[in-house]
Amino acid sequence: MSLSPGTGSGGLWLDAFPHRWHAAHERNVPGRARTVVYYPGARRDGGSDGTWLRITPEQGEQWTGVFSSDNLLGRLNVAASWPDPHVLFVAAGGSPYLVDARDPDRWWRLDRPGTRRFEPVGGLALLLDDEVLAAYDADGLAWESDHLDRAQWLGVLDDEVHLRSGDLRHRVSLRHGRTVTEPAPW
């Protein structure tokens, strides 16, 4: 991804997966892109201000994406590569955006407004929100865990993600999302 390290608003760049595009903050790139696309809606006639990214696909013309930002405290603020090498993931404090770097009109939002964490693990993009841990692969949603009440990320051990909710530990299988909830050993 080779993105510029500073975002100025607490955002983060994450080279999570192999990809076929380059992205940078608009303010760090000289000149202007001919095409500016505002999300949501993929509009060319303006929209809400937000995160401005200059996107250069492996083949094709560069363009600027302006991703409307909710900037909600405690919500994810990150731009990252995705399991599909042509797709860019952008979370700006609300439901994350996915956009095909080759075609700015090919985009969608994930219905995960409470997303708090993004983790690339074993070819999966893991998104933790207030209710579940969801895993995405290049084809889309691979699995979801059972309900997790505002669980906190502990880490990955062997083939499981470990999370904590109060006095409970949740072990979520990376293969299929099967969730085992048990009293925490601490």
Burial class (CB in 10 A: 0-12, 13-18, 19+), 18: exposed
Q: What is the model's pLDDT at position 19?
A: 96
**Closest listed residue to residue 144, CA positions, set 128, 159, 162, 157:** 128
Chain segment 96-111, per-residue pLDDT in tens: 999 999 999 999 999 9
From the list 185, 128, 183, the residue with the least C-alpha distance to 156 is 128
What number of residues does the chain have? 186
Could you tell me if 138 and 126 are in contact, meaning their C-beta atoms sit under 8 angstroms apart?
A: no
* Cis preceding linkage at 40, omega within 30: yes
Is the pLDDT at 39 greater than 90? The verdict is: yes
Q: Which two tokens stand for residue 132?
A: 């579940």
Query: What is the value of pTM for the model shown?
Result: 0.89
Domains in the chain: ranges and CATH = 1-109 (no CATH), 114-186 (2.40.10.480)
111-132 per-position pLDDT tens digit: 998 899 999 999 999 999 999 9
- Tokens for 16, please give them: 């999570």
- Work out the average pLDDT over 30-42: 92
Q: How far apart are CA 102 and CA 49, in angstroms?
A: 22
Encoded tokens for 59: 């083949």
